[in-house]
Chain A
Amino acid sequence: MGFKNAPMTSAKPVEDKAKLFSSEICSEIDRWIGKFPEQWRQSAVMAALQVVQDDNGGYLTQELMDKVAAYLEMPPVSVYEVATFYSMYELKPVGRHKVCVCTNVSCMINGSDRIVEHMEKKLGIKLGETTGDGRYTLKEVECLGACGGAPMFQIGNKYYENLTTELVDSILEGLE
């Protein structure tokens, strides 16, 4: 902040970084590190958190965040700050399918309430909860930039637009 900015470096650099993660994860994080100036390894923190979260069934643990900190030579607290700031990181276990449903204005006036209500009833959970069998999590999200297809939701990397209750049923049933 202000007129100075330098990377936040950790006090004790870890010697053997390659042992922190599998080689696939290391090389994916390294690919991101390669995009930024050499002294700015920490620019890869968002991507690194996403990669390890995906690998860990969709959520982050303190242990994983500490490893990311070590890998990027950052103080752990700086990694926690990032992980708690952005909404796509999960700090608690989530279902195999995280259904992120938009309820912002365009979706709302096109019936997102009905979609939410339908899913809550069908799955027996409220927004923010996970089904007992660990299959689904329902999450309310802000505008996903697809208002032309309202109402809509995102599952995994995929957007589903122009939802109706019938369409929701067939989408949810089509997931493994």
Chain B
Amino acid sequence: MANEVCLRNLDQDRPWLLKRYQAAGGYEVLSRILKENTPPDEIIEEVKASGLRGRGGAGFPTGLKWSFIARNAPGQKYVVCNSDEGEPGTFKDRDILRYNPHQLIEGMIIAGYAIGATVGYNYIRGEFWEPYRRFEDALEEARAAGFLGKNLLGSGFDFQLHSHLGAGAYICGEETALLESIEGKKGQPRYKPPFPAHFGLYGRPTIINNTESLASIPVILEKGGSWFKKLGVENSGGSKLFSISGHINNPGVFEIPLGTPFSELLEMAGGMKEGSKMKAVIPGGSSAPVIPGDQMMDLTMDYDAIAKAGSMLGSGAVIVMDDSTCMVKVLERMSYFYHEESCGQCTPCREGTGWLYRVVSRIENGKGRPEDLALLDDMTVKIAGRTICALGDAAAMPVQGMLKHYRDEFEYHIEHKRCMTGG
């Protein structure tokens, strides 16, 4: 079974239109909640029961996050959606925005109702013009139909929703950097605690969730938390969108139950390209340590299985590489990325990412020194866990993964001043 939650409407003609969404039962859950005045705690309990874990990368339980908000405390609260989608390899939220924007809108309104927030923002990365236009059109439709604005469907509950556009910065995907960015500042992460649930947007209690997490909500509430949970496996409730790319025939976004064997996902994606043999897989976006292909073929796509193999499911971005791929070159490119995107606040990250890049780059370019690998090992330890946000860890983890599984390739590069793969 595939496409049961966020992409359940993909088979329809122009599925992004309100009338299509409604014809398939869209906004019925919201209408029922508003009509019956469902107690917010019931909604949060249902989300907890679903086992939904944040789809933005960290996998934090969504229901638990919502329960941290003091709903009855006075003053404004906010719901923020993270559509910054910048983790290399990830391209799933773009499809939700393009093909199922109303389900995200409905999810955000319900989230607002559950935590007592009357305003929401969807932070869309600046390059996503087409998805942004789609989302804006959907907002217009939802406003005209009375799903947004004052006194929704006569319930007394108000909810207004706006989109915000980024302008090119991976770090704005980090939740507190994103909030700073909406506040009209450089996107530099804040110290935590305090967490956004206490001190979020404009200093007010805020929940921030990934696009896919929020778009899953209406279906979870329609079919029930236990239905959703049972789609997946222990500790990994539900289905999830996987963005799969690389040396495969049919790259794309596939929504499949968590716990599906990787081999099945690979098959859906058309298998390896003609004549190429799988070498390695990055299972959860470029921050996730690489896993050798043979090992990957025995794994299932869920949080625990991938963690046990020493990596992480992250955003569900799967990059498949064949045996022509030079791991040193791949790591050089990744290290360049983290160096480019470091916001510069913390010394270990600002200096360390540049240093990582320069060392990997000199190995790639035939100027590596025998002591370089020990140096890289040491640097990753000195960056990880010593920074304000997780970008430092994200830069260190791929280096550790590469050196664990492909150390011989790096040694070969240093010794022979060229690549083992001939690439």
- A4, B128: Cβ atoms closer than 8 Å: no
Q: Is B292 part of the contact surface with A, judged by Cβ < 8 Å? A: no
**Chain B residues within 8 Å of A143, by CB:** 86-90, 286, 337
A144 at the B interface (CB under 8 A): yes
**Chain A 86-115 per-residue mask, 1 if CB under 8 angstroms from chain B, else 0:** 111100000000001001111011100000
Determine whether A74 belongs to the interface, using a CB cutoff of 8 Å to chain B.
yes
Q: Contact partner of B203 among A4, A46, A74, A158, CB < 8 A?
A: A4
How many residues of chain A are within 8 Å of chain B by beta carbon? 50
Of the candidate stretches B54-62, B246-254, B306-314, B364-372, the one touching chain A is B246-254
User: Which residue on chain A has the smallest CB distance to residue B203?
Assistant: A5
A168–B196 Cα gap in the complex (Å)? 44
Verify A142–B91 contact, CB threshold 8 A.
no
Which residue of A has the minimal Cβ distance to B91? Answer: A145
Q: Min CB distance, A105 to chain B, in Å?
A: 6
Stretch from B102-110, B182-190, B376-384, B400-408 at the A interface? B182-190
- Name B183's contact: one of A43, A72, A105, A145 (CB within 8 Å): A43
A148 near B253: Cβ-Cβ < 8 Å: yes
Q: In the complex, which residues of chain A have a beta carbon less than 8 angstroms from the beta carbon of B341? A: 142
Q: Given contacts A103-B333, A106-B88, A148-B253, is CB(A87)–CB(B167) below 8 Å?
A: yes
Question: Which of A13-21, A77-85, A121-129 contacts the other chain?
Answer: A77-85
User: Count of chain B residues with Cβ under 8 Å from any Cβ of A?
Assistant: 60
Given contacts A142-B340, A143-B89, A145-B128, whether A106 and B319 have CB atoms under 8 Å apart is: yes
B25 within 8 A of A: no
CA distance A60 to B158 in the complex (A): 39
Closest CB-CB distance, B84 to chain A, in whole Å? 9
Q: Which residues of chain B from 170 to 220 have any CB-CB distance to chain A below 8 Å in the complex?
A: 170, 181-188, 190-191, 194, 199, 202-203
Establish whether residues A88 and B89, one from each chain, have CB atoms under 8 Å apart when the complex forms. no
Residues of chain B lying within 8 A (CB to CB) of residue A87? 167-169
- Name the one of B85, B167, B183, B337 contacting A86, with C-beta atoms under 8 angstroms: B167
Which residue among A36, A85, A89 has the maximum number of chain B CB atoms within 10 Å of its CB?
A85
CB B180 to nearest CB in A, in angstroms, measures: 8
Contact surface of A with B, Cβ cutoff 8 Å:
1-5, 7, 35-37, 40, 42-47, 49-50, 72, 74, 78, 81-82, 85-89, 100, 103-106, 108-110, 141-150, 154, 157-159
